Structure 1
Amino acid sequence: MPTYTITELAEEFDITPRAIRFYEDHGILDPKREGAGGRNRVYPARQRTRLKLTLRGKRLGFTLAEIKDLIDMYESPKDTVTQLQSFLAVLQQHRTKLERQREDLELTLAEISAHENECHALLALATDQNKA
């Protein structure tokens, strides 16, 4: 089974080693320790997958706690129906949140358009007055 160093994972996923250590601090990643005093972090393939899922969850807007819960849920021997229901609940919460954000963005964009139109009209009026 392949293993990865912190540098290899950081380069592969275009993140800093500090970010990887941050995920360790939050209990999402748990590398093996090797070398003198356990100084060298070694990440088995399963830890690489956890990092990949963590980064995907962050892009989707999940909190670290939600990401950890979801990843842990699939690594524990639990009922698949319960897992799927939990995942659906999290997805629904995020869908609701994103739909609210979209509504807010649409309202904000409409307000910006109204202000732009007003500015264009005032500029046209000012230009007409300067010509006269």
Structure 2
Amino acid sequence: MSTSEDNTGPSPSAAAEALSSADAAARRIRSRRGWYIAGTLVMAVALAAFSIALASWPDRLADLIIPGLLVVGAILALLAWSGRTIPTAAVAVSNRVVFISAALMVVTLLLNRLLPAGFSGWVVLTGLLPALPFLYLAWRVARA
């Protein structure tokens, strides 16, 4: 014969405490996810702007583009540093995105050599190529 102690589940206060802990963890994850999405979007914009500027105004390389490259490097370093708190699977995806973006940057630089000098729609289209993997990553993380 079972007693009333065997049939009772967790107390209402314990269940409420568990739910509040789960809500706090979900808020913490969402806030960190937002910063990660913001970082990937900044990286996409920086890569697109850098490649467009490099193709459109190569004479300004030392004045504006090299400092811009340093900013992009700093952002990459920040993303790599934040990878310490990101799950291993997410780090693998991030590394793959960086590799694909670097390969697309090489393609962009080669394509820009074939295009006429100066700012044009084609320069903008090719300049968006290295940004696409980061835009995909931001979309994928935001969707999850």
With the length of structure 2 as denominator, give the TM-score of the two structures.
0.33
What TM-score do you get using the length of structure 1 for normalisation?
Answer: 0.36
Larger-Rg structure = 1
The structure that is helix-richer by fraction is 2
